[in-house]
Structure 1
């Protein structure tokens, strides 16, 4: 009988090709909208923001500071407008009343959302109520994925620490890949960032994501579950003119 020998290098390449065949590639985005108002006072342009997001062709988009039926932003249902312009599925969670409407967080998904959970977050005594959105989807390759949109407390490191712990507790039993994205109000110099690094893989770099009145800092993140193996194919911060925050994009591969 003729024997076939496979070199170690060849076997490694075969395994590598198999792993890539079973991997999932996706694009995640986070953007804090400032309810559609440019910091210089320019006209509200939520449809322009929607067109910009559509052009990104993302699989998931986490949005913070989103208005719904508020006078200051033209009484528009911003989550609905963004859903229509992007053609994505959407979930909106109001966090506080503003004038005659609400302001909150929204999540857009390329794939149909199979389940949604609101994660209540302690916000301290004086802050407005805060929460995160967790959704589960099945991607085009029939792989389950979980995506979280978060908007954390701006004032208190102690509250942010509690909020991060509350979100992490929600994913402890989740085995499929998890992405958390949003305005976390944490800079890489803060103690909470050490907490993040212990429990999440940071997809990004040191580029700042917020700029206002000469202040520049990185506070918007796309984080990846550590129990899974991730490859960050590309990380980008867009310097557009829609908000005092910049959109953040990560092209990812998960095995």
Structure 2
């Protein structure tokens, strides 16, 4: 039996549509941010919070987690670790079996202090030091680029903006946004941003980025953990990419004065 030309055309169109659908496959990422208070239990000072933090991370099983207030081999960490200095990222690597990155923002207490990042898979990473036009503590952005499905890329970036001066936060968020958007592929920004919704740096970011918690409709406060009054911990996704926010959660944990934020998001590429 001969196949009609119309039927052949229909088959070819169907195959084409299936191929196009495969080219625009959707991947779900679990994204997380957590200010870890230099590895010390905020509500039980003098005690390490690393095992508690690891238990939260292992339960969530994020693809990426941004961490703020991260010490590396400081005298301070020895004070609650039997006199031994600790590299907090390396310790959490062991406890979570994830890949760890440390981005030093400043020299501190005979060691370093800055940003931490854990990823479920190997990544290519970098660090950007941020401006402080009003002075104050140095700040940094650490980022990890993950390549998957052959040639698709996503970059997850972690930062902790200035807690003192609005002028610093504005300058820092401009540098961060410009840098990440120029990468030309999907990007995520996560961290303790030290600003509130409606502030100048928030509005600058909102022009090209989506506040995941607000988009999902449940922006919960994140600090202090024992009686949350403010939301300064965020996960943002770029508006240039096809992100679909599937869930947002603020687990009620008190290992730090901040609670973590967890976002599940689908990305079509």
Give the alignment's TM-score, normalised by structure 1.
Answer: 0.88
Counterpart among 18, 22, 25 of residue 22 in structure 1: 25
Q: Which residue of 1 aligns with 2:237?
A: 224
Q: Deviations over 1:79-126 (max 9, x none)?
A: 101111111111101222332322211111112113x22111012454
Counterpart among 30, 39, 48 of residue 36 in structure 1: 39
Q: Deviations over 1:180-218 (max 9, x none)?
A: 100110111322211121010111132101117866100
Whether 1:204 and 2:213 are equivalent positions in the alignment is yes
Q: Shift of the alpha carbon at 1:3?
A: 5.3
Size of the aligned set, in residue pairs, is 249
Question: 190-199 or 207-216: which moved more?
Answer: 207-216
**How far apart in 2 are the matches of 1:200 and 1:251?**
16
**How far apart in 1 are the matches of 2:133 and 2:174?**
15
Specify every segment of 5 or more residues in structure 1 that has no aligned partner in the other structure, as ranges: 5-10
SS in 2 for 1:242: coil
Q: Which residue of 2 aligns with 1:234?
A: 247
Q: Deviations over 1:15-71 (max 9, x none)?
A: 8x9379611111110000111223323421213212321221110000000111223
Whether 1:190 and 2:193 are equivalent positions in the alignment is no
Q: Deviations over 1:126-184 (max 9, x none)?
A: 41211101221113665211111111011111111110110112123322210110011
Contact map agreement 2:133 2:167 (CA 8 A) in 1? no
**How far apart in 1 are the matches of 2:37 and 2:168?**
22
**How far apart in 1 are the matches of 2:231 and 2:162?**
15
Specify every segment of 5 or more residues in structure 2 that has no aligned partner in the other structure, as ranges: 8-13, 79-84
**How far apart in 2 are the matches of 1:178 and 1:97?**
28
**How far apart in 1 are the matches of 2:250 and 2:225?**
16
Give the CA RMSD over aligned residues: 2.6
Larger Rg: 2
Q: Which residue of 2 aligns with 1:58?
A: 62
**How far apart in 2 are the matches of 1:249 and 1:177?**
18
**How far apart in 2 are the matches of 1:148 and 1:245?**
19
Whether 1:103 and 2:110 are equivalent positions in the alignment is no
**How far apart in 2 are the matches of 1:66 and 1:190?**
26
**How far apart in 1 are the matches of 2:160 and 2:166?**
14
Q: Which residue of 1 aligns with 2:175?
A: 166
Q: Which residue of 2 aligns with 1:73?
A: 77
Whether 1:178 and 2:179 are equivalent positions in the alignment is no
Whether 1:152 and 2:152 are equivalent positions in the alignment is no
